[in-house]
Amino acid sequence: MRPSLWQKLDHLQPLLTGMLLVLGLMTVYSAHADWLRQIVWVILGAGAYAAMTAFDYRRLPALAPWLYAGMLVLLLAVRLLGHSALGAQRWLSVGGFPLQPSELSKLVLVLVLAAYLSRVERLGWRAFLGALGLGAPVAALILTQPDLGTTIVVVAVLVGMLFLAGARIAQLGSLAVIAVVVLPLLPHLLHGYQRRRLEIFLNPGSDPLGAGYNLLQARIAVGAGGLFGQGWLHGLQGALGFVPERATDFVFAVYAEQFGLLGSVLLLALFGALLTRLLHAAAVAPDRFGALVAGGVFVMIFAQVVENVGMNIGLLPIAGIPLPLISYGGSATVTTLTALGLVQSMMVRRPLLQHRERTTWSGNISVRAQA
Amino acid sequence: MAAAAIVILMIGVLSLKLTQLQMFDSATLAGLARSNTIHRVVLEADRGIIYDRHGVPLVQNTPLWNLQVVPADLPKDWRDRATELATLATLTGQPEDHLETSLAVADQFAPVRLGPNLTDGQVLAINERLPALAGASLTHRGVRTYVEPLTFGHVIGYVGPLDDADLKRLRPRGYQPDELVGKVGVEAGLESVLRGTDGWADVEVDARGQIVRTITMQPPVSGQAVYLTIDASLQRATAQALVAGLQRDHKTAGASVVLDPQSGEVLAMVSLPGYDTNLFTHGISQADYNRLVMDPDRPLLNRAIAGQYAPGSTFKMVTATAGLQEGKITPQTMLSCPSYLSYGGWVYHNWASYNLGSMNVAKALAVSCDTFFYQVAAMVGDVTLARYARAFGFGQTKNIELPGVEPGLVPDRIWKQLQCGVPDLNSDACRWTLGDTITFGIGQSALLTTPLNQAVYVAALANGGSVMQPTLVHMVRDASGRVTATQQREVVNHVPASPDNLQAVREGMREEINRPYNMNYWFRAAGVPADGGGKTGTAQWGGSGLDLPTHAWFVFFAPYTQPDVAMSIFVERGELSEVEAAPIGVDIMRFFNGNRGAIHATTPPAPA
């Protein structure tokens, strides 16, 4: 019997996504951000999700070069035409809407790398360097915007996908060597405020009212939440504006103040479940491209959640990055939902055979046999 | 499975950190959150107003505007912060680096006052731009503005910032370091009554420092209103008379105390030169302060209570009372008044270089014969004389509602011994001599008194021997208008003298002001009936000898029967008391006679 579309649909993934979106809208509302506009973004994102689900993902590899070229053009356009906010030039105005190409570029990079890496059976040094060659200009353009947070995500996506594509220890080791060489130079490459953020992370009390303010206030808000939280719309720190960037970068602190430890762990569990669904999708993917797309989307969301929550609670240095599905912001919301829609598109187009449901990967995704 | 393990690891690590923050550090961080959002605002209580006996305000609380900044509420971005600081510096007219320093050293979460006093123009300019200035607000507090400080200043005093000693003393009573406290005068003497109780409000503020709502509030309680015994118009008349008298004779300093001899109420108290007490409330400049401190006329000294001078001949009523009461003389006893007398090989002169003949005690007071009183003092003896002096209140610190009251000095044998480093019973420098006794008898020796003591003394002669407790406070009312204290008439001491003997002394005082061609001239010239008793005194000071500088005194009471006013007039470096001090008293009396009923009436002021 041919399985219906409904049966093939990953029901859990949109459910989890929807729950996260609801929590996100509640938090954005409580943070006095423009929540009506965020609803518009969510609706647009849902449309993109549906469109991507309907769209046959297998046509994407052919589009990949065009997407890549378009992305580079957009990033360059930002440098030339974009307007700046908060000391960085990240925004393009598209039909009156501010567009942040670096958000889109994360997903485009996933698709481009998936297309490129799915063509090679074994990841030789040549293919490895080729992938790095695709990623490097993107990372460089975004880093110099400057947007450290997105750069971190881009680099994570690059390394993560190389790993999923079966990079050898030696190859990943060489990346580590490069990192060891480049990292000490980083302070010289970083902008002043980025360097200060790093210093503040290492010693948050050094400047409680200056640059360390964000970190301190975010931690205060999280801590004030306690076990059960202050209750929705009862978070003082967030509502009164002590938490900076309360609807975007520090939205987690605003959430944690209102919903407490229980709410925070629930949020992490929802993200964990969603990420597990993406891993599952990668495992059951009918082809190497699909598996790499699902894996790339996994890395993209994983990196953002870790970095965003980590910086909100003082575990990681501050790098401006939205919390997927929660933070206010059109580009990020639409990008994330588009990515999830693409994974869904792959799910509904997989041949539903029981024995293939078994997850047979260990570490690297073992989908080569199926391809 | 590795990727799934990474997801679980991520959730685990983040959850652990979250547990630390939201479970174990929660109380601390929640406390920080409260101090973030809940600010305690002090609601300053108004200080009590000081009125004269009829309810005329002698000080006002005028609002003084301050720009107040909570450093923690300034913009977080250093560029915005620098812009705002520059704006604040321009608006308050302060150098920017000065502003930055004062903000840097302050408590970051407590309001810092910038610009001690803003002009109306500055207040308007700041108010206009306030919505754009994060963390800044305008506050005002009541600052004392004293009415006619040159006239009332020495009585009212002023308030000023707490110094270290004040802070140590007053901190237990809840004083804040930036509070103002009464420094001198009634402001200091009645500090505990005048000071209100500050209230407070816990207000919720947003990150920009704007008040969102008030959570709890304790309203401030205003300080109590003090009604003085001073009559403002008599005080003005007294000051004018004193100023005019000093100018007439090219003198620069003097004092006068006018009492109700029946109640001990101070009706006027003036010390000249005065100074602008308002300089102090707004934070006195170093130049102004130096000028006041270096001024040789010592304007900061309230001579009425703290200036100690020899009483000279005004003391003769004590010697007379002692001689009469001790039976050494009677009102009829005639003693000679030669131009000099010799005691112990020293010659002691009368003011007149010729013999004035023999006279009774009243005449001796009237002509102020020194040699007459040398004899009486020698008969009475120094010990008894000192006892009578003390009975009249000499050498006693008057318990009036002002700080810094000086007692004066009644010398005696022990005092003189103590003046020597090594007591020596044989040295005249240490030993009380007969010469000391007889000069004591005319108010010299080492005798010192104050204008206040003199007024109490003449009041006691006037009222039949009751040494009154002088007081400046008629009544105290709290903020609701309830009377919390009224002054009770208090007799400190009864002079141990019979009415007849005191009558004989008073008779001498009446004679003095009624002698033709003498002081009576001033009364007639001013159209003031010489109904009362007075005594002048020109006291030498600055050592011993014949040509010493002098101070001029005049003590006076009126009317002769049932006196209702007693006063002392003091002219520093006055050379001739009959000419320099007495006319001032006559001037004051002229005003008093014209306003007697109004001055004594204490129309109870309506509750504020």
Q: pLDDT band for position B400 (50/70/90)?
A: very high
Rounded CA gap, B446 and A191, in Å? 84
Rounded CA gap, B251 and B241, in Å? 13
> How does pLDDT run across B17-67, given as a tens digit for each residue?
888 888 888 888 877 777 767 777 777 888 999 999 998 999 988 877 778
In a domain, B396, yes or no: no
> How does pLDDT run across B55-113, given as a tens digit for each residue?
899 998 887 777 878 777 777 777 888 888 888 888 877 787 777 777 777 766 677 77
Instruction: Tally Cβ neighbours within 10 Å of residue B446.
Output: 15
Cβ-Cβ contacts under 8 Å, A210 against chain B: 76, 78
Which residues, 6+ apart, have CB-to-CB distance to A13 below 8 Å?
A274, A277, A278, A281, A340, A343, A344, A347
Question: What SS3 state is found at A344?
Answer: helix
> How does pLDDT run across B570-589, given as a tens digit for each residue?
999 988 888 889 999 999 99
> How does pLDDT run across B221-244, given as a tens digit for each residue?
889 999 999 999 999 999 999 999
> How does pLDDT run across B146-187, given as a tens digit for each residue?
999 999 999 999 998 888 888 888 888 878 777 788 999 999
Considering only CB atoms, A275 lies closest to which of B7, B25, B71, namely: B7
State yes or no: cis peptide before B273, omega within 30 of 0. yes
Q: pLDDT band for position B406 (50/70/90)?
A: very high
Bigger pLDDT: B4 vs A52: A52
pLDDT at A72 over 80: yes
Structural domain containing residue B131: 64-73+82-90+106-139
Instruction: Tally Cβ neighbours within 10 Å of residue A228.
Output: 12
pLDDT at A134 over 80: yes
Mutant choice from A172, A209, A254, A361 vs B, greatest count of B C-beta within 10 A: A209
pLDDT at B369 over 60: yes
Average pLDDT of chain A?
A: 82
Residues linked to residue B225 through DSSP beta bridges, in sequence order:
B477
* Predicted structure pTM score: 0.65
pLDDT given at position B417:
83
In a domain, B130, yes or no: yes
- Comparing A21-25, B63-67, B473-477, the range with the smallest average pLDDT is B63-67
What's the rounded mean pLDDT across residues A339-344? 95
Average pLDDT of chain B?
A: 87
Q: Estimate the crossing angle of helix B2-19 against helix A288-312, to 10 degrees.
A: 10
Cβ-Cβ contacts under 8 Å, B212 against chain A: 240
What's the rounded mean pLDDT across residues B341-345? 87
Cβ neighbourhood burial of B376 (10 Å; 0-12, 13-18, 19+) = buried
pLDDT given at position B472:
94
Q: For A230, which residue in chain B has the nearest alpha carbon?
A: B30
Contact B572, B254 (CB under 8 A): yes
pLDDT given at position A359:
46
- Comparing B156-160, B328-332, B423-427, B559-563, the range with the smallest average pLDDT is B423-427
pLDDT given at position A191:
64
ipTM here: 0.84
Considering only CB atoms, B29 lies closest to which of A220, A240, A306, namely: A220
For chain B, what is the domain count? Answer: 1
Mutant choice from A193, A215, A236, A300 vs B, greatest count of B C-beta within 10 A: A236
Contact A313, A214 (CB under 8 A): no
pLDDT given at position B208:
62
In B, what residues contact A, Cβ < 8 A?
Answer: 1-4, 6-8, 10-11, 13-15, 17-19, 21-23, 25-26, 28-30, 32-33, 36-37, 71-72, 74, 76, 78, 108, 204-208, 212
Q: Which letter does DSSP use for residue B23 in this model?
A: I
What's the rounded mean pLDDT across residues B477-505? 89
What's the rounded mean pLDDT across residues B396-425? 86
Rounded CA gap, A321 and A156, in Å? 13
Rounded CA gap, A80 and B83, in Å? 29
- Comparing A48-57, B112-121, B484-493, the range with the smallest average pLDDT is B112-121
B112-114 sheet: strands from edge to edge = B112-114, B59-69, B136-146
Rounded CA gap, A324 and A331, in Å? 11
What's the rounded mean pLDDT across residues A272-288? 92
In a domain, B183, yes or no: no
Considering only CB atoms, B22 lies closest to which of A213, A264, A279, namely: A264
In a domain, B559, yes or no: no
Rounded CA gap, B63 and B311, in Å? 45
pLDDT given at position A371:
34
Dihedral in degrees, nearest 10, Cα atoms B131, B136, B142, B148 = -90
Residue with the two structure tokens 């080729």: A130
A–B CB contacts, 8 A cutoff, strictly below: 122
Q: Indicate the domain borders of chain A.
A: 5-349
Instruction: Express as a percent the part of chain B with pLDDT over 70.
Output: 94
Contact B192, B207 (CB under 8 A): no
**Distance between B211 CA and the closest CA of chain A, angstroms:** 10
Rounded CA gap, A149 and A146, in Å? 9
What's the rounded mean pLDDT across residues B375-398? 94
Rounded CA gap, B267 and B568, in Å? 12
In a domain, B115, yes or no: yes
What's the rounded mean pLDDT across residues B415-443? 83
Residues linked to residue B538 through DSSP beta bridges, in sequence order:
B552
Question: What SS3 state is found at B56?
Answer: coil
Residue among B507, B514, B570 nearest B539 (CA): B570
The H-or-E segment that residue B467 falls in is strand B466-468
B550-558 sheet: strands from edge to edge = B266-272, B254-259, B565-571, B550-558, B533-540
Instruction: Express as a percent the part of chain A with pLDDT over 70.
Output: 80
In a domain, B113, yes or no: yes
CA B290, B294, B297: angle at the middle one, nearest 5?
Answer: 130
Q: pLDDT band for position A366 (50/70/90)?
A: very low
Bigger pLDDT: A247 vs B411: B411
Contact A241, B57 (CB under 8 A): no
- Contact of A318 with chain B, judged by CB distance below 8 Å, is answered with no
**Distance between A345 CA and the closest CA of chain B, angstroms:** 22
pLDDT given at position A190:
67
Dihedral in degrees, nearest 10, Cα atoms B51, B53, B54, B56 = -20
- Contact of A226 with chain B, judged by CB distance below 8 Å, is answered with yes
Long-range contact set of residues B596-600: C-beta below 8 Å, sequence gap at least 24? B596/B564, B598/B54, B598/B231, B598/B233, B599/B231, B599/B233, B599/B234, B599/B267, B600/B260, B600/B564
Rounded CA gap, B425 and B359, in Å? 37
**Distance between B141 CA and the closest CA of chain A, angstroms:** 28
